[in-house]
Amino acid sequence: MFMTNASVSSVMTITAVTDKDLEKHSRISAFVIDSKAKGVTVAKKEDKLGCRASDTCYVTFEDVYVPETQLLGQRGQGWKYFMEILDAGRIGIGAMALGLAEGAFDKALEYARERKTFGKAIGAHQGVAFMLADMKVEIEAARNLIYHAARLKDAGKPFALEAAMAKLFSSEMAMRVCRNAIQVLGGYGYMTEYGVERYYRDAKLCEIGEGTSEIQRLVISRHLLGKIT
């Protein structure tokens, strides 16, 4: 329903049911279509919580003619293609979460060194220092999960489980780190001046895009348990 860059794109990649009588994952095919084709309607750019520079629009299709020449790959393989894209995209979302967390952490660390209370930098207070230590540990743990999944993908090895774990941990880590960065900055963290509130808003997408955290847990548990009854 929501499509990234819909208002500025010249083509779209979509999936549609092409063979209703086949097994569910073989019913769907992928297509490339003209964004200006008759029946394609792109609504206004959505007003979002975060990632506001990324264009997201609601798209509808009504009696759109799609010739067979616009089939993407093989008929009936659309589900497979999109799932493969999701697996790879989860590494990218994990990397995005990592970058947001690092940005927020750097701001918090700099502020903790400069801001003084009771005659010393707030970083010298154990409550703040321990918070920064935990943020750093989580960032490095996420980095290793992401790099491991990326190495497997680059080597042509199975990586779906590792990508799901990297995405799950990194996205939830980013929310914790960005939230704590705001806490370190206190009132200034809540203002737009230092930018950490933007990191926090942007990070929320990472828990949703390319599959929610709940979906990642479902993917991981299925890899561990297989099909059980």
Residues contacting 172, CB < 8 A, separation 6+:
207, 213
Reported as type and span, the H/E element at residue 82 is helix 78-114
Measured between alpha carbons, how far is 60 from 180 in angstroms, rounded to an integer? 40
Secondary structure (3-state) at 67: coil
- Assigned token pair, 117: 């209370």
Cα dihedral sign, 207-13-31-77: negative
Phi, psi of 59 (to 5 degrees): -125, 135
Measured between alpha carbons, how far is 133 from 153 in angstroms, rounded to an integer? 31
Question: Terminal CA-to-CA distance of the chain, rounded, Å?
Answer: 33
195, amino acid identity: G
Burial of 183 (0-12, 13-18, 19+ CB in 10 A): middle
Residues forming the active site: 210
